[in-house]
């Protein structure tokens, strides 16, 4: 018997079976899938890359676990959805792979366009964890921080709070209200050097605010409209300069949003065509492909969302 509620994945289609899951959610839970799926039943697993595969140790783990999945599920078809062009030659030896950016699947209806009232010069929506490099925001005068913290990283959290003592901090803003919070800032910050494609960076753009962005690998650069990004050096002074740039040179929110949606369209079409080739019909896709987002409890049970929201293994 098939029990989708037991899987850390989203069930896009039941006949034929098509799932989507983040790499670690699927590849580190292979036995959960084995117990839940009938043996020898064909299925397709779309694997979203949640962290850059350009980082060597993570890539090696990913490839090794994918080999395990192919041995455990000879009846399965595995397709990586990559956020970076450079990831394709790394992933292709392990499984099928297409360039299909996660940030293209934000539902614009969830994000109101920024209005004329701006309470903050910048907002940084990011978990309070070292790889997010909050110290680079230390010289931003009027900053809003949004992001959860963890007990093992309490020392880091306290250091961040000391570095920006005047900045209001919200540990969590419900996903359906985060767009309103973003729209109260003149720009958004994206300061990590290594991570995945950073949904928050795309949320800035879909809300219509520009971005101060540092050099990085992970894929977020591919989905920021070029006219709405200030490329900062890895210094607090340069990040603050970027914030001042957007204060002095505002961009109409509608222009940023429209440019972002235009960039997203080809990725959405690639996935729509892939799903149609598998299922023989068009399959609607949900916000964020149904994973790593807030969903009603009954929908989670129906589509197999088991993973705690906001966490990363």
Split the chain (313 residues) into runs of 10 and give each run's mean pLDDT: 62 92 92 85 94 92 96 96 96 96 97 96 97 97 96 96 96 93 98 97 98 97 98 98 98 98 98 97 93 62 50 35
Q: Are residues 136 and 245 in the same domain?
A: yes
Do 209 and 185 touch, CB atoms closer than 8 A? yes
Note the pLDDT of residue 302.
58
Determine, yes or no, domain membership for 292: yes
- How much is the pLDDT for 300? 58
What's the total number of domains in the chain? Answer: 2
Domain contains 309: no
For residue 97, give the H/E element and its range: strand 96-99
Looking at the structure, tell me whether residues 118 and 245 fall in a common domain: yes
Do 146 and 247 lie in one domain? The reply is: yes
Residues 220 and 123 in one domain: yes
Q: Does residue 53 sit within a domain?
A: yes
- Whether residue 163 is found in the same domain as residue 245: yes
Q: Is 258 part of any domain?
A: no
DSSP, collapsed to helix, strand or coil, labels residue 79 as: strand
From the CB of residue 195, how many other CB atoms can be counted at a distance below 10 Å? 23
- Are 79 and 192 found together in one domain? no
Q: Is residue 238 included in any domain, yes or no?
A: yes
Rounded-to-integer distance, Cα 216 and Cα 197, Å = 10
Q: What is the CATH number of the domain that holds 231?
A: 3.40.50.2000
**299 lies in which domain range?**
4-106+263-303
Same-domain status, 47 and 179 = no
- For residue 304, report the phi and psi dihedrals to the nearest 5 degrees: 90, 15
127 with 204, same domain? yes
Sheet containing strand 211-214, strands side by side: 169-170, 143-146, 122-125, 188-190, 211-214, 229-232
In a shared domain, residues 39 and 68 = yes
Residue 197: inside a domain, yes or no?
yes
Domain assignment of residue 36, yes or no: yes
Which residues pair with residue 120 across a beta bridge?
185
Asked if 199 and 84 sit in the same domain, the reply is no
Write the burial class of residue 71 (CB in 10 Å: 0-12 exposed, 13-18 middle, 19+ buried): exposed
Global pTM reads 0.92
* Domain match, 19 and 102 both: yes
Do β-strands 96-99 and 169-170 pair in parallel, antiparallel, or remain unpaired?
unpaired
Tell me whether residue 94 is in a domain: yes
DSSP string, 255-267: HHHHHHHHHHHHH
φ/ψ (deg, to 5) at 164: -130, 65
């Amino acid at each position: 018997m098939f029990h989708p509620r037991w899987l850390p994945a989203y069930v896009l289609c039941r006949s034929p079976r098509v799932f989507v899951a983040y790499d670690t959610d699927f590849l580190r839970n292979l036995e959960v899938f084995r117990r839940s799926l009938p043996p020898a039943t064909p299925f397709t697993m779309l694997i979203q890359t949640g962290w850059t595969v350009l980082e060597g140790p993570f890539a090696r783990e990913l490839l090794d676990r994918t080999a395990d999945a192919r041995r455990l599920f000879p009846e399965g078809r595995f397709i990586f959805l990559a956020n970076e062009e450079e990831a394709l030659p790394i992933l292709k030896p392990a499984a099928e792979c297409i360039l299909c950016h996660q940030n293209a699947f934000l539902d614009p209806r969830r994000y109101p366009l920024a209005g004329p009232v701006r309470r903050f010069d910048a907002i940084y929506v990011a978990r309070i964890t070292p790889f997010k490099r909050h110290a680079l925001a230390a010289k931003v005068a009027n900053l809003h921080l949004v992001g959860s913290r963890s007990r093992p990283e309490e020392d880091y959290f306290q250091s961040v709070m000391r570095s920006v003592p005047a900045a209001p901090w919200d540990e969590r803003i419900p996903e359906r209200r985060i767009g309103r919070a973003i729209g109260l800032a003149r720009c958004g910050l994206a300061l990590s050097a290594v991570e995945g494609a950073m949904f928050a960076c795309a949320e800035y753009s879909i809300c219509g605010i520009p971005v101060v962005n540092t050099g990085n690998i992970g894929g977020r650069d591919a989905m920021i409209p070029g006219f709405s990004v200030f490329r900062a050096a890895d210094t607090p002074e340069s990040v603050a300069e970027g914030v001042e740039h957007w204060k002095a040179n505002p961009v109409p929110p509608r222009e940023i949003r429209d440019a972002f949606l235009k960039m997203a369209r080809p990725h959405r079409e690639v996935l729509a065509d892939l799903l149609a080739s598998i299922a023989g019909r068009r399959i609607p896709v949900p916000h964020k492909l149904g994973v790593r987002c807030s969903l009603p409890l009954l929908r989670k049970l129906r589509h197999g969302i088991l993973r705690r929201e906001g966490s990363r293994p």
